[in-house]
Each structure stands twice: as C-alpha cells, then as structure tokens.
Structure 1
C-alpha cells in the first residue's frame, strides 16, 4: 500500500463496537472483494471491501474476518483467514500478509490460512444460534454483479439452514457514520492531498488546455502524495459540459471565457475526500458568472451551519431549497409566479439545482449512514449546492467536507482550499 500503516488500535476499537451490538451466541463473517476480470488475463485494480477494512485494516484479496464474541475459547472470538503466501507468490505478485504481519496490521492474534476456514467455522457454528450476513443495503446500491460476499452468504445459509439469520449492515450503517479521531485524521490527509492538486491546477489552467490534461495534473499530484488516485471518477467539465451532473468524458478543450466545473478529489488509505470547485479558464469570472458563483457560495455557507446534532437530513434539504429559491429569484432565473405555482414534489428551484446538497462521507464517497436518524457529532458530510444554466452555457457547483461538532458550526476539512472568487482569480493570475 502507498499509505502509511494505520494504528491497529482503530480496528480493535471498531471490532469492539461491532461485537457489542451483536446478539448473544452469534457469529459474523466479512469477506474481501473479488478481483474483477476485464478480459484475457487482465483484471481491474483491487479495491478492498470497506467493511472488512473498517473492522480489520486488512487491505488484501482473499481475506475473511470471523467475529464470535461468545465463543468459549478466546482464540475463536476474532479470527482472520488469509490466502497462504509463499515464495512463488512473492516473486510474481509481491509480498502478501504473513500471520505475524496480519497481527501487526489488525491486532487479531488468531490468523489462519484459508484452507482451515470451513472446519474452523463449523466448530464456531456449534456454539452459535445466529449468523450475521453482510448484505449491501446502502440507499444508492444498484449492484448487478454477484460479489464474493454474495456467494459466501448463499453457501453459508444452505450449509447451516437451522441457524437464525441477522444483518450486519444496520449495525455498520450506524458505526461507520460516526468517525473515530483516527479516521478524521485520515480524511484530513485525503483533503490535504486534494488541496495540493487543486492549487497545482490554478497555475496550470489556461485557454486551450484539454480537460484530460487537467485530469493528468491532478493524478500526478495525488499519487506523488501517497494516494492511489481519485476517490471517484473525476468530473472535469468545461463550458456546457458542467450541466451534465456526472460528466466523465473529460475530452474537450477548455476555451477562453468558459468556466470549468471540477468535481475531483483524492483518497487516502481508502478514505475519501470529495471536492467541487468552479474556476474560469481565462483566470477571470465575468460579472454574470461571479454573481451566480457567489449565490452558490452563500447557499453553501448557510447550509453548512445547519449540519448540527439533531438535524434531520430530509428537513435539512427542505431548508436548503428555501435558500436556493431566494438566490434564484435574485438572479432572475425564476420569478414569484414560478414559486407560487410550483409542484411541491418538484419545487421551482429544481430546474436549476436538481441534486441533493449533502451526503455522508468516509470509506465510501457516498458513505454509510441512516438518513432517517438525526445527525450526530463526528459524522462527516459534503455540502455541495450548485446552479446549472444550460441556456447560458455554464454550471457552478461548490463543495466542501465538514465534520459535525458536539456544538456550534461544523469543522471544515477543506478550510484551506481556496473557494472565494477573488482568491481564485488572484491565484490564477500570479
């Protein structure tokens, strides 16, 4: 891994929190992700399943975590199963975790090779009544591929049909949404790397540059700072492309007078950051562009203040809608009649601001978190309002990442990344 080793005490704490929520006489199993094929002998780069990483720190394929807190023998309460490594694997694919190294990473003393998994699990199952399966129940999930976890769950339920089945996901949704201080430090590091990439761009962008050249500059800066790269597919949308919310082609030339909407951010140690900025290709905003820009910035700043303990996600978005309505009226994009006659299911402001303002952030860019429950301290949210005007050939989105505090305004992890229009102009024209 490129990142510095994480203190294993984080994963020890995470396991303790999870096991404290398990039913008596139960066992939970977590699988690593598959390595997905492309064709021939080509594969996609490995990405670890975030749940097994959260609970163990293991960032390696073909790994399984088993938790059984009520097992009668201590060595069966926390177990890791890994693919046995050897000299051949080390030569062709690099070193894999040894049992000793796995303990250093995870704090788990009982580390076995995968060939011992079934017989050891059989013993554990004789002590248990309930098995926790790890299904994907994120509100944005739309997975069509059968995962390693899916295959295991099918096998496990068929093998032990007399056991009760419970779900790990509701527990993880709550636990993962509230960050430990170590996690906040890792997310701050991801934001710091993102800042370096963004500042690099401010001196690089000029009329005639290609969107993919900007992407290349960012990737260079991210990787040289120990990131794997982008936390999600980068959006580098010049001119009218900014009105495509998930524009990813990044293949157009940036022209004088246009704006570039950048939704780009680095990961660090599997933790995401999520940045949006909108900059002028020429280094200067027009008066109209700046007016819209400042309207978006005002909405972002006011919305941020609402992210406090007790806030409900749905009500928060209704309040942000009111802020945006006021700004769109001031810009002349909608009028009072539009508001009076609006459909409550699709308010007038949605014509120019059609997406949500905030989502949980963490190990996943759209991270775990139960949206029906009130916000709590140490949750991390994006704040990302936007105004998109196809008729005028530009769109603007601004986004920061903030930590909900026990009291007062959230803490902005991106506080050092330039966002004021005047500062961006000044930096671009140095």
Structure 2
C-alpha cells in the first residue's frame, strides 16, 4: 500500500463498539466489494467496502469478516477470510496478504482462506439467531448494480430461510458518523495533500490553459504525495461551466476575465478531502466577481459558526438560506418586496443557491450519517455555500472541511488560501 495504515488498535476498537451494539447470539456477515470489470479482460481499480475497511483495515478483494461475539468457542468469535495466494497470482499480481500480515493490519487473530467461508458459516448459523447483513442504505444511493454483499445476502437467506435477518447499516451509520482521532488524522492528511495541489494550480493557471490541464496538475501533486488520486470525479469549470454543479467534462479553454470553480479533493488511506475554490483565470477578480466571492465567503463564515453540536441539519440549512437571502439582496439579485411575496416552501434564493450547505465526510465523500439526528462533537462536515449567476457566467463556491468541536470547530483546511488578497498575491507573485 502507498499510504501509512492506521494502527490495528483502531480496528479492534471499532469491532468492540459494534459487538456492544449487537443482540445475544448475533452474527455479522460482511463481504468486500467486487473487483469491477470494464470491458474484455479489464478491471477497474479496486475500492474496498467502507464498512469492512472500518472494521478491519484490509484493503484487498475477496475478503470476508464474520463476527459472533458470544460464540462459545473463542476462536470463532471473530474470523477474517482473505484470498489465498499462489505462484500464478504472485507472478501476475504480486503477493496477496498472508495470514500473519492480515492479523498485523486488522488485529483479528483468527485468519482463514476465503475458500473456507462456507464451512465456517454453516457452524456459526447453527448457533446464531440474529443475522446482520450489509446493505447500502445511503439516502443518495441508487443501487443499480448488484454488489457482492447483495449476492451473498440472497445465498445465505436461501440456505437458512428461518433465521432472523436484520440490517447492519443503521448500526454502522451511528458508529462511523462520529470520528476517532485516527480518522481525523487521515482526513487531515488528505486535506494537506489537497492544499499542495491547490498551491501548485495557483502557480500554473493563466489564460489559454484548458480545464483538463488544471486537473492534471492536481493529479500530479496528489500522486506524488501518497494519494491514489481524486476522492471523487473533479469539477474544473471555467466561465459558464462554473454554474454547472456537477460539471465533469473539464475540456474547455480558460479565458481571461472568467472564473474557474474547482471542486476537488485528494483521498488518503481511503479517507477523503472535499475542497472547493474559485479563482480568476487572469489572477485578478473583477469588482463584480469580488463582490459575489466575498458574499459567499461571509455566508460560509456564518455557516461554520452555526454548525455546532445539537443542531439539526434541516434547521441549519434554513438559517443559512436566510443569510444567503440577505447577501443576494445586496448583490441586487433579489428584491425585498419579491421575498415578502415568495412561497416559503420554495424560497427565491434557491435560484442562485440550489444545493445543501453541508454533508458528512469520511470514508465516503458523502459519508454515512443521519440528517435527522442532531450534529455531534467529533463528526466531520463540509461547509460549502455558493452563488451561481448563469446569466453573468459567474459561479462561486467555497468549501472547507470541519471537525465539530466542543468549544469550536476545527478547520482541516485552514492553511488552504481562500481570501481574495491571498489568492491574487499567489497568482501574481
């Protein structure tokens, strides 16, 4: 692996927390993600199932974790199955994890080869009553592709139809939403790598470059600092493209007088950064661009001060909307009289600010975590207001990542330039 792994004590602690949340005679069954095909004999880069990774730290395909914390035989309470290597695999793919290496990473003492899974499962099912299976229940998930967990869920239900099957997802959501310090350290590393990429780009951008050239500058810096690349598909939108929220083509020429909106983040050790910055192509904001930019920055500062323990995200979003409303009036984009007559269920500010302000961040960029429960200390959120004026070709979004603290929030991107004067100075030194 190219990243520094978290100590096995972190994964042991996570499994202990899960075990305490289970009913007596419960069995957790959790499979790795598939190695996904492309075409012919091609495959995509492997990306581990995040719940499995959170519980054992194993970053390899064909991995299975079984947990039955109160099984009479201690050797059957935690079992990790890994892919058995052979000479052919070693020649073509390199060595896979040995049993000793799997224990060193995960802290699981009892390691078996994946080929033994069926036999062990048969023994455990005879003892257990509650079977917890993995499903992707993220509110934004489409689940159009059947996962390895889904396939094996069907198999175990067919083989053992009279057991009580339950959902693992709600428990994992609660556990993963509040971050341990080890996780915050990994996210901080991802943010620091993102900073390096952004500073490189500030020195590179000038009129005449193409959006994909900027993307390449980020990727160069990410890879050379131990990241596997972008945490998500990067958005590099110049001019009118800055107003397209999920613009991904990244193929247009960047012209003098335009803004470039860059929504990018590095991953590190499967944890993610999520940053947005908006800069002028020629290194100088126009007066109008500066006014919009500073309005977004003021909203961002207010939002950070409001995103505190005990807050409900829905109420927080409404309050951020009111602040944005005032800024849009000052920018002469909204009129006070029109606001008085607006439909409260569809406020006028949404014409220029149509997305949410914050989301959970962690192993997933849009990480698991309830938006219906109060914000808690130790959660990590983005704060990312924006103003998009399509008729003027001006799109500005600013985004940092924050750990919710007891007394104040910790800005994981505090060292990444965001003030107008600093950005202009770095682009024109």
| Interval of TM-score (by shorter of Structure 1 and Structure 2) | over 0.9
What residue number does 2:243 align with? 243
Distance 2:159 2:384 in 1: 47
Distance 2:169 2:342 in 1: 38
What residue number does 2:84 align with? 84
What residue number does 2:167 align with? 167
CA drift at 1:5: 2.4
What residue number does 1:422 align with? 421
TM-score (norm 1): 0.99
CA drift at 1:170: 0.4
Name the SS of the counterpart of 2:285 in structure 1: coil
1:13-63 per-residue CA deviation (whole Å, 9 max, x = no partner) reads: 111111110111110011111111111111111111101000000000010
Distance 1:60 1:262 in 2: 32
Distance 1:210 1:390 in 2: 21
What residue number does 1:149 align with? 149
CA drift at 1:4: 1.3
What residue number does 1:357 align with? 357
CA drift at 1:338: 2.2
What residue number does 1:116 align with? 116
Does structure 2 retain, via aligned residues, the 8 Å contact 1:307–1:409? no
CA drift at 1:145: 0.5
Distance 1:94 1:247 in 2: 37
CA drift at 1:87: 2.1
Name the SS of the counterpart of 1:144 in structure 2: coil
1:46-88 per-residue CA deviation (whole Å, 9 max, x = no partner) reads: 1111010000000000100011101101111111111111222
CA drift at 1:337: 2.1
Distance 2:358 2:108 in 1: 36
What residue number does 1:127 align with? 127
CA drift at 1:159: 1.1
Counterparts of 1:196-345 in structure 2, within 5 Å, are: 196-345=196-345
CA drift at 1:200: 0.4
Distance 1:143 1:131 in 2: 22
Name the SS of the counterpart of 1:43 in structure 2: coil
Instruction: Please tell me whether residue 371 in structure 1 is matched to residue 371 in structure 2.
Output: yes
Where does the alignment leave 5 or more consecutive residues of structure 2 unmatched? none
Does structure 2 retain, via aligned residues, the 8 Å contact 1:304–1:409? no
What residue number does 1:34 align with? 34
Name the SS of the counterpart of 2:38 in structure 1: strand
Distance 1:149 1:53 in 2: 14
Name the SS of the counterpart of 1:42 in structure 2: coil
What residue number does 1:180 align with? 180
Name the SS of the counterpart of 1:66 in structure 2: strand
CA drift at 1:143: 1.8
Counterparts of 1:47-58 in structure 2, within 5 Å, are: 47-58=47-58
Name the SS of the counterpart of 2:303 in structure 1: helix
TM-score (norm 2): 0.99
What residue number does 2:392 align with? 392
Distance 2:21 2:110 in 1: 22
Distance 2:306 2:73 in 1: 48
CA drift at 1:6: 1.9
Distance 1:72 1:371 in 2: 39
What residue number does 2:68 align with? 68
Distance 2:279 2:115 in 1: 55
Distance 1:122 1:348 in 2: 59
Does structure 2 retain, via aligned residues, the 8 Å contact 1:383–1:402? yes
Distance 1:88 1:315 in 2: 57
Name the SS of the counterpart of 1:296 in structure 2: helix
Distance 2:287 2:145 in 1: 48
What residue number does 1:405 align with? 405
1:123-161 per-residue CA deviation (whole Å, 9 max, x = no partner) reads: 111111010011111111112001101001001111111
Distance 1:29 1:364 in 2: 21
What residue number does 2:382 align with? 382
CA drift at 1:409: 2.3
Distance 1:121 1:338 in 2: 64
Is the deviation greater in 274-283 or in 115-124?
Answer: 115-124
What residue number does 2:2 align with? 2
Distance 2:345 2:355 in 1: 13
What residue number does 2:194 align with? 194
Distance 1:124 1:371 in 2: 36
Runs of 4+ off more than 2 Å: none
Where does the alignment leave 5 or more consecutive residues of structure 1 unmatched? none
Count of aligned pairs: 429
CA drift at 1:210: 0.6
